[in-house]
Structure 1
Amino acid sequence: MVPVTTTQIHSRPSLTIIGGGPGGYEAAMVAAKLGAAVTIVESKGMGGSAVLTDVVPSKTLIATADSMRRASGASGLGVELGDEPARADMRVANRRLLALASEQSNDIRRGLERSGVRIVIGQGRLVGPTTVEAVTESGTEIIESENVLIATGASPRELPTAVPDGERIFNWTQVYSLTEVPEHMIVVGSGVTGAEFASAYNQLGAKVSLVSSRDRVLPGEDPDAAVVLEEAFVEDGVNLVSKTRAESVERTADGVRVQLTGGRILEGSHCLVAVGGIPNTAGLGLEEAGVKLKDSGHIAVDGVSRTSVPGVYAAGDCTGVFALASVAAMQGRVAVAHLLGDAVKPFQPHLVTSNIFTSPEIATVGVTEEQVASGKYQADILKLDLSTNPRAKMQNVTRGFVKIFARKGSGTVIGGVVVAPRASELIYSLALAVSQRLHVDDLANTYTVYPSISGSISEAARRLHVHL
């Protein structure tokens, strides 16, 4: 008989978390610091998919690709690297990224243990409003607590006619088994994940075809940024296949065949299917416990991460708010602050900062061009190309821009876009301006280093100054 144990915690506030990704482990750290008794149930390892198979591995691969980009462009800066072109060793690159993912997971586990968080490696599910069943290798444990946080993330969406096999047809968690740069990688899906991998494999030396169902890549992002990325793709030799869908992907004797709508066929050596994710909410006992789900399968939450059941909260990709690790972490922290009675600010979607790790990177915060065009916000918009920036010229950066959205009439910064190398670092000043409701003059009157890419942010703000 499988042993069953029951854990009850009554002496101090208690929280059980299902899922050890950013939403779960960030919440656990904060709750433990605030004095709660915390148990976290995770099936794969601390950090969850974000650390083990998604964000950390993919961005480490992209770092390798970025090194290839800089090496290939070194001659334009007067650097000679020899007669042989730079070459990516996928065995070394993938070994390194998997080791980094494991190391990061272990770091998170040690941090949780130092904070007094109890870790249970197993499958968790609700068997009551705030009762969690954890199935582990040694048996089944019933954990009773005052509150529960669901942070189970999402998994790659799979097409029934394009089933990944981990050898020729991949989802985004499987590509790290490659031992050589693909001869021809066909990427199905031109959203963030598809664009990032298309950019990375192109920089690593693969021939890349990117299949998009829309008329441009990154259909949900800033249109000016998407144009810059498309131009970069075309210049770098990426084959853009637009306004079509992949009906099926099948293996051939030495590669893959992708059947597109309209009868067109693409043949390549490998195929990466990146058509979105599905929430990991099935089999968790949510509906039985009364937790309301959306039609998409995501957990419905409010601004402080509450579900429809008192005491049950949810954070991260399983809520469908934003598929970003930073948002998952913020939702988890907000949930803990609310359930423990700490000072809490409800989650504010318009303050979210995001980055697309293509080449060049695309970073955004706050109000979008689409929202201004629709009339939801009234804003003055200033776009400044990096072609005039002295540091960009020195670094041989030929693509990119800074764009600032200022509220019409007041000059308050309400949004921004940066397209540039390391845009993920440059966007912080604009994110700070948006979150703190700074005026364009606050940005303009803050000293920047000369020369610097960030100088273009200050210059764009100066051009938005309103003379009184």
Structure 2
Amino acid sequence: MSSSHDVVVVGGGPGGYAAALYGAAAGLDVALVEKQKLGGTCLHVGCIPAKELLETAAVYRTVAHADQFGIATGSPEVDMAAAQARKQKIVDQLHNGVGKLLEGRKVTLIDGWGSLGPDRTVSVSGGESGEMTLTADHVIVATGSVPRMLPGFEVDGQRVFTSDELLSITDLPERAAIIGGGAIGLEFASMLADLGSEVTVLEALPRILLGADDDVVKMLTRAFKKRKIEIRTGVAVTGCRHSGDGVALDIDGDDPLNVDAVVVCVGRRPFTDGLGLDDAGVETDDGGYVVVDEYCQTTSPGVYAVGDVVRTPQLAHVAFAEAIVVVKHLLGESPAPVDYDRVPWAIYCHPEVAFVGHTETSAQEAGFEVATSVHRFIGNGRAMIVGETDGLVKVVADRNDDGTGGRILGVHMVGPWVTEQLGQGYLAVNWEATVPEVAEFIQPHPTMSELFGESVLALTGRALH
């Protein structure tokens, strides 16, 4: 069996289904090949389930401290089975929604594994759609990623986990070790600590959360310490051994760490297993990522790649943006390539972290004379009202001769709900707005977003508070 289409998308995660939806909206005949569930890692074992369980942790934390607001309650208890059921209900609703959107746009959905061949052909096998060959004017590879593992660690979903397995746990460990101090590791550390686990974060690098400003990292580290989350940096974990009912982690130059569960969060690798990239003339780099140009074109004419399978930030919203660029490009339009240095980042630990653009250090390294402004949530009325005052907003700007701020280069936040507050900072950085321009905007009161306005206003040389 064979069929021909304008575009064949291989992979149904955020990059894949976004490319299919956007291409179909432009009138293209699109086929999407996926063997697993539509929605990919983000929907099923990533963004959505992780944030749902983090919200469960937030509710538990709120109830546990309700007496501070004059609400008398007993000690809350965690019912992980109920939390998992709620999580799954949300995932299922979103999964069904993606399928209905694709069907509504007349995208041809094909169940099976896709393998690339020469001349933009895709062979499909192993699924309910049967074996077939698809041909297309353009092929988009969007097969995503899978967790990286460490040598000597065997995932069993009982004592040793990756993010995939941890998001389905029904029993909370008393003691947990998180290997990796990036976004995923910190979110899991925060969630487990809120729900009652004793948590240790082990990071091989000298600091956690690369990409965030130093002031943000320092504030987050202090906040974690207050919550009794131990962060150990510069740590080399050399082995993992089952010990009684738990796990013993061998640490270079230190005593073993004994815990009930270990979560490996050392990044994700591109998933290209059995994809046939060599047969299609698609080049990969030494890390297995598909090599693309600024428009996500591979080395094979007419073949594109988006999302985690390419060496760009592994974020669903980046995959969405790349998908739009690809469709516009194959239509002959002139899209602006994604500016990866100005991508918004959001980490949903407690307190939350959000940032975009240059840090103070990276701006200086890029040759800018820098002016910065830092304001803390401890003086913000709305933060006081909700009882969440740990955190700060830092604005990094190009410095004028008089010491005031010029163009806004970066915005870095840590604190309550900052993932929902980054929007105006993102717009400022990406529109290359200046401090005087942004300072004119009125911030509603009382809101947490006032802190961004205060930080920008201070860079004019005339602070309000």
The two structures have a TM-score, normalised by structure 1, of: 0.94
2:86 is aligned with 1:90: no
**CA distance in 1 between partners of 2:213 and 2:123 (Å):** 44
Q: Name which of 19, 23, 30 aligns with 2:22.
A: 30
Q: Which residue of 2 aligns with 1:68?
A: 60
Q: Which residue of 2 aligns with 1:204?
A: 195
**CA distance in 1 between partners of 2:287 and 2:362 (Å):** 24
**CA distance in 1 between partners of 2:285 and 2:461 (Å):** 45
2:449 is aligned with 1:419: no
Any idea what SS the aligned residue of 1:256 has? strand
Any idea what SS the aligned residue of 1:174 has? helix
Q: Name which of 49, 55, 68 aligns with 1:57.
A: 49
2:432 is aligned with 1:441: no
The 10-residue stretch of structure 1 (234-243 or 299-308) with the greater mean CA deviation from structure 2: 234-243
The 10-residue stretch of structure 1 (142-151 or 247-256) with the greater mean CA deviation from structure 2: 247-256
Q: Which residue of 1 aligns with 2:173?
A: 182
Any idea what SS the aligned residue of 2:167 has? helix
Query: Which residue identity is paired with 1:120?
Result: I
Task: State the Cα distance separating 1:72 from its structure 2 match.
Answer: 2.7
Which stretches in structure 2 are left out of the alignment for 5+ residues? none
1:333-412 aligned within 5 A: 333-409=324-400, 411-412=406-407
**CA distance in 1 between partners of 2:329 and 2:33 (Å):** 21
Query: Which residue identity is paired with 1:112?
Result: L
Q: Deviation per CA, 1:358-411, whole angstroms, max 9, x where unpaired?
A: 101110011222312314433321111112212222222221111112222371
1:371, 1:377 within 8 Å by CA — same for their partners in 2? no
1:111-130 aligned within 5 A: 111-130=101-120
Any idea what SS the aligned residue of 2:421 has? helix
Q: Which residue of 1 aligns with 2:97?
A: 107
The 10-residue stretch of structure 1 (288-297 or 329-338) with the greater mean CA deviation from structure 2: 288-297
Query: Which residue identity is paired with 2:225?
Result: V
1:266-345 aligned within 5 A: 266-345=257-336
1:88, 1:181 within 8 Å by CA — same for their partners in 2? no
2:244 is aligned with 1:244: no
1:387, 1:398 within 8 Å by CA — same for their partners in 2? yes
**CA distance in 1 between partners of 2:149 and 2:449 (Å):** 41
Query: Which residue identity is paired with 2:28?
Result: A
Aligned residues: 457
**CA distance in 1 between partners of 2:367 and 2:324 (Å):** 29
**CA distance in 1 between partners of 2:287 and 2:293 (Å):** 17
**RMSD, aligned CA:** 1.6
Change (3 A) 1:377 1:150: farther
Task: State the Cα distance separating 1:29 from its structure 2 match.
Answer: 0.7
1:411, 1:466 within 8 Å by CA — same for their partners in 2? no
Q: Deviation per CA, 1:221-249, whole angstroms, max 9, x where unpaired?
A: 22111111111111111122332122122
1:129, 1:312 within 8 Å by CA — same for their partners in 2? no
**CA distance in 2 between partners of 1:238 and 1:195 (Å):** 10
Which stretches in structure 1 are left out of the alignment for 5+ residues? none
Any idea what SS the aligned residue of 2:241 has? strand
Q: Name which of 56, 80, 91 aligns with 2:72.
A: 80
Query: Which residue identity is paired with 1:177?
Result: S
1:411, 1:439 within 8 Å by CA — same for their partners in 2? yes
Q: Name which of 227, 247, 267 aligns with 2:218.
A: 227
**CA distance in 2 between partners of 1:261 and 1:143 (Å):** 52
The two structures have a TM-score, normalised by structure 2, of: 0.95
Task: State the Cα distance separating 1:137 from its structure 2 match.
Answer: 3.4
Task: State the Cα distance separating 1:174 from its structure 2 match.
Answer: 0.5
Any idea what SS the aligned residue of 1:177 has? coil
**CA distance in 1 between partners of 2:302 and 2:432 (Å):** 34
Q: Name which of 122, 134, 159 aligns with 1:132.
A: 122
1:89, 1:181 within 8 Å by CA — same for their partners in 2? no
Runs of 4 or more consecutive aligned structure 1 residues displaced over 6 Å after TM superposition = none
**CA distance in 2 between partners of 1:129 and 1:297 (Å):** 22
2:4 is aligned with 1:18: no
**CA distance in 1 between partners of 2:185 and 2:381 (Å):** 32
Any idea what SS the aligned residue of 2:253 has? coil
**CA distance in 2 between partners of 1:446 and 1:316 (Å):** 35
Any idea what SS the aligned residue of 2:164 has? coil
**CA distance in 2 between partners of 1:466 and 1:342 (Å):** 44
Query: Which residue identity is paired with 1:152?
Result: T
1:415, 1:434 within 8 Å by CA — same for their partners in 2? yes
Q: Deviation per CA, 1:14-45, whole angstroms, max 9, x where unpaired?
A: 00001111111111111001110000111211
Q: Name which of 4, 10, 31 aligns with 1:8.
A: 4
Task: State the Cα distance separating 1:343 from its structure 2 match.
Answer: 4.2
Q: Name which of 14, 24, 39 aligns with 2:31.
A: 39
2:447 is aligned with 1:457: no
